[in-house]
Structure 1
């Protein structure tokens, strides 16, 4: 559905983005996915081997409401909405590598840990299980 934006930094491959169109579910879904991909890229920059950072640089971080404000997110399919919200929380948690207790990044990390747990518990029947072999 929207995994590619989280795996590929589109600045490396220069693909045109699908323009956001009101009333077009696919474009709205992709818009949110690509924005989440951008957040994930920013949040994980400090984890790259080439990074010289010793502080978190994601001080400004969109809220999930801000991220979805130009879409009709409330009418998204529940499994899509849950998936996207969990990915938001993952990006938010990853945005804190160096910041300690009391910092905005650390508080965001704690809030998102709880947020991802809440989404997973409330939407357990809507989110497909991972195909894990035993």
Structure 2
């Protein structure tokens, strides 16, 4: 009987600890997600290898702290039926620029394969993907 009472008390204590309230996080400690909408390139745009292009994003919804953040732009591509985004993280097109600017000029690599399924990923603290576009030679 004593063992059954002990087990009951132990289970009750364990259950109570799982149901304990969690302290609210102050606004200053809330993690913000920075993921601005990419406005350029647009779906079906055509970029020429070796050319200079502008990547643009919407800054309207960025809060004051986000506007002080730096960004990273990388090129990726997709293939039907695969979740692999083939992000070229080792060769970013741009890095350490202010997200507040709303645009950055990038150079399209000469050595990339011709594809119709490229996209740009803009990283703040999260990644935002552009519509797919083509890179080819003239």
The structure richer in strand per residue is 2
| TM-score, scaled relative to structure 1 | 0.21
The structure richer in helix per residue is 1
Larger Rg, first or second structure (1 or 2): 2
Q: Which has the higher contact order (CA 8 A, sep 6+)?
A: 2
| TM-score, scaled relative to structure 2 | 0.21
